[in-house]
């Protein structure tokens, strides 16, 4: 438990001072609990009926003074509690805000291969659920433990100040209390299940169900698939209940031990009064105090359950920081030329070879088209140019400089991406286009939109450029989203364009508009494009045929048509399918 506190305080970083201050305030808040008890003691001690040694009756003036002290202590406690929560919660929220930002920066340095469906739910859970748990419950764990221990020592000293026999008996009774605490603390370990990780699996399943809902509905499988999602919800419910029931017996025993200590103190106080060893006022004070003397350490013990979950959340957040990062992500080189060269490049996904000894060059200001069967490695080539993954062997260079020597920001600043699967944010049209250049003026946005052939349909939207287009651009058609993506790339005006041909799945009208927009985008750029319709690449500078992870053919359309390789076969197949009729 103390290890968890230490790790959480380490995580607090710059917020440690604020946290320490809240703990000091919390300690004094706890110490002031004794003030009303001391006032009650003074009142009873001042009454001859309860204290034979007292010869004069208690005056109303004294009662008013004691009441004022009690009210004052209550007001001070309210103020202390306010500032305790203010500084403690503030430290927690600020720390987790900073930690979320740190995790975001760390994830930017991670290969995109890590962000698969399996890891996505867990990442969302860590950044949301785990961080939320730490900023609320984690702060509570620190307070209960940090304040519980010193107040526990104070409780023992109070017992000793009254009678050493009470002190010794309490010490003896604390031994079974310690055993019950250890039993409570180890119950969660014996479960051997990470609840926070379980929540990550639930998040992952939920994301998968929601993302695939339109497909499931189209095949009338939504109910069946949801039953699988419900299963993991049920597992979480059963596990959570199991955790609660597992902890009830040891927690009950642990609390019973403290009730037993209270009972013994009350019993001994009565015995000592009968034996004339205590005055009534002394016994009264000790009896009342016995109910709260060890409340702090009792609460700290119960919070050991949260302590385990706190440590699990800390470990999960630290695991993100331990994910292998791409090397040389902060390189110092800058680009002034934009030719692209692959030299003997090898790459594998999960140790499955995808590219094998790939070499080619795309001169600055020219266009290269990648052609091949599905799964041949075309998209991988595009991803490697933008360094979404690091290669295993070989080199990739731009302008004669290996991309590993460039800072990631400098590399991506010089590249624009226009893919078939356009992702738009749940924001205005204006802000989605401005992602390409956040400082762009309205006139620059309008000009880019006109060149992308999307200005006309944008101004017809409900609020024009200020229209919020829904999650992933759900309010727009596929062709409209693609033209906005082109406008985004136009306003960025990068010298390198990576393009996944966008006209493969659109109607004739949208295809003509997109092709016209692309002509504006690709002027004087270095372009690598994935080609689906071979009829659209007859005039490109070079065609690279990717076959089984290798460049099997290279040349212009007319040169490749003179050969008997894959390109010619694909051309003939598309020519035949164009003549199909239903």
Compute φ and ψ for 543, nearest 5 degrees.
-120, 130
> How many other β-carbons are positioned within 10 Å of the β-carbon of residue 303?
20
Tokens 């100040």: give the residue.
161
Q: What is the pLDDT of residue 225?
A: 61
**What are the distances in angstroms from CA 224 to CA 145, 213, 219, 228?**
47, 11, 11, 7
Return the DSSP state at 364.
T
- Which pLDDT belongs to residue 190? 61
% of the chain surpassing 90 pLDDT:
9
Tell me what pLDDT residue 330 has.
Answer: 63
Model confidence over 75-86: pLDDT tens digits? 998 898 888 888
Task: Identify the CA nearest to 402 among candidates 456, 454, 328.
Answer: 328
What is the token pair recorded at 238?
């059963």
Per-residue pLDDT at 302: 67
Domains of the chain: 2-321 (1.20.1560.10), 332-414+494-582 (3.40.50.300), 420-492 (3.40.50.300)
Dump pLDDT digits (tens) for 504-524.
555 566 667 777 777 777 788
Distance CA 283, CA 537 (A): 97
Cβ neighbours around 525 below 10 Å, total: 19
In the numeric block, which tokens belong to residue 25? 């305030």
What spatial distance separates the first Cα and last Cα of the chain, rounded to whole Å? 72
Using a pLDDT cut of 70, give the percent of the chain over it.
84
pLDDT (0 to 100) of residue 346: 92
C-beta neighbour count of 327 within 10 angstroms: 9
Low pLDDT (below 70) residues in the chain: 1-2, 51, 53-55, 112-121, 146, 185, 187-197, 200, 207-208, 210-226, 300, 302-305, 326-332, 471-474, 501-511, 575-582
Q: b vs e for 265-274, b when ≥16 Cβ sit within 10 Å of the residue's Cβ?
A: bbebbeebbe
What is the spatial distance between Cα 206 and Cα 142, in angstroms, rounded to a whole number? Answer: 32
Instruction: Give the pLDDT confidence score for residue 542 in this predicted structure.
Output: 93
Q: Within 13 Å, how many C-alpha atoms sit on residue 63's CB side?
A: 6
347: helix, coil or strand?
A: strand
Q: How far apart are alpha carbons 439 and 426 in whole angstroms?
A: 20
* pTM more than 0.75: no
Output the six-digit token pair for 17: 């001072």
Give the single-character DSSP code of 330.
B
Chain position carrying tokens 């008996």: 169
- What span, in angstroms and rounded, lies between the C-alpha atoms of 537 and 557? 8
* Residue 214 confidence (pLDDT): 60
């Amino acid at each position: 438990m103390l290890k968890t506190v230490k790790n959480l305080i380490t995580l607090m970083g710059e917020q440690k001072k604020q946290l320490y201050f809240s703990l000091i305030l919390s300690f004094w808040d706890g110490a002031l609990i004794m003030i009303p008890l001391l006032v009650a003691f003074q009142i009873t001690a001042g009454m001859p009926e309860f204290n034979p040694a007292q010869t004069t009756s208690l005056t109303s003036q004294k009662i008013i003074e004691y009441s004022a002290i009690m009210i004052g202590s209550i007001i001070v406690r309210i103020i202390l509690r306010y500032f305790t929560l203010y500084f403690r919660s503030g430290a927690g929220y600020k720390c987790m805000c900073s930690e979320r930002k740190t995790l975001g920066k760390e994830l930017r340095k991670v290969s995109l291969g890590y962000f698969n469906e399996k890891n996505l739910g867990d990442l969302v859970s860590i950044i949301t659920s785990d961080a939320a748990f730490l900023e609320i419950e984690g702060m509570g764990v620190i307070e209960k433990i940090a304040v519980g221990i010193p107040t526990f020592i104070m409780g023992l000293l109070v017992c000793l100040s009254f009678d050493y026999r009470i002190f010794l008996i309490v010490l003896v009774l604390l031994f079974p209390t310690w055993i019950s605490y250890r039993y409570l603390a180890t119950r969660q370990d014996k479960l051997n299940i990470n609840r926070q990780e379980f929540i990550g699996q639930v998040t992952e399943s939920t994301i998968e169900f929601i993302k695939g809902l339109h497909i499931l509905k189209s095949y009338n499988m939504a109910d069946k698939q949801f039953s699988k999602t419900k299963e993991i919800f049920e597992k979480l419910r059963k596990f959570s209940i199991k955790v609660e029931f597992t902890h009830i017996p040891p927690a009950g025993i642990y609390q019973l031990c403290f009730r037993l200590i209270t009972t013994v103190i009350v019993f001994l106080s009565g015995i000592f009064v009968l034996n004339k060893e205590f005055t009534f006022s002394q016994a009264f004070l000790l009896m009342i105090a016995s109910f709260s003397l060890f409340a702090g350490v009792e609460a700290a013990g119960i919070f050991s359950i949260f302590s385990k979950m706190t440590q699990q959340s800390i470990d999960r957040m630290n695991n993100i920081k331990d994910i292998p990062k791409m090397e040389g992500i902060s390189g110092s080189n800058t680009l002034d030329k934009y030719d692209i060269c692959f030299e003997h490049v090898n790459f594998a996904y999960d140790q499955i070879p995808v590219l094998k000894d790939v070499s080619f060059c795309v001169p600055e200001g020219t266009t290269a088209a990648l052609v091949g069967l599905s799964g041949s490695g075309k998209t991988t080539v595009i991803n490697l140019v933008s360094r979404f993954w690091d290669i295993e062997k070989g080199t990739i260079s731009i302008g004669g400089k290996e991309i590993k020597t460039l800072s990631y920001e400098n590399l991506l600043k010089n590249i624009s991406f226009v893919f078939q699967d356009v992702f738009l944010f749940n924001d205005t049209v204006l802000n989605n286009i401005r992602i390409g250049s956040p400082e762009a003026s309205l006139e620059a946005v309008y000009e880019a939109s006109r060149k992308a052939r999307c200005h006309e349909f944008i101004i017809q939207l409900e609020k024009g450029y200020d229209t919020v287009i829904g999650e992933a651009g759900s309010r727009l058609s596929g062709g409209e989203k693609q033209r906005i993506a082109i406008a985004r790339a136009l306003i960025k005006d990068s010298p390198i364009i990576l393009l996944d041909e966008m006209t493969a799945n659109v109607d004739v009208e949208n295809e003509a508009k997109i092709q016209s927009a692309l002509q504006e985008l690709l002027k004087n750029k270095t372009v690598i494009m994935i080609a689906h319709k071979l009829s659209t690449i007859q005039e490109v500078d070079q065609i690279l045929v990717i076959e089984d992870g290798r460049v099997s053919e290279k040349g212009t359309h007319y040169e490749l048509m003179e050969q008997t390789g894959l390109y010619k076969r694909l051309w003939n197949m598309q020519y035949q399918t164009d003549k199909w009729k239903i």
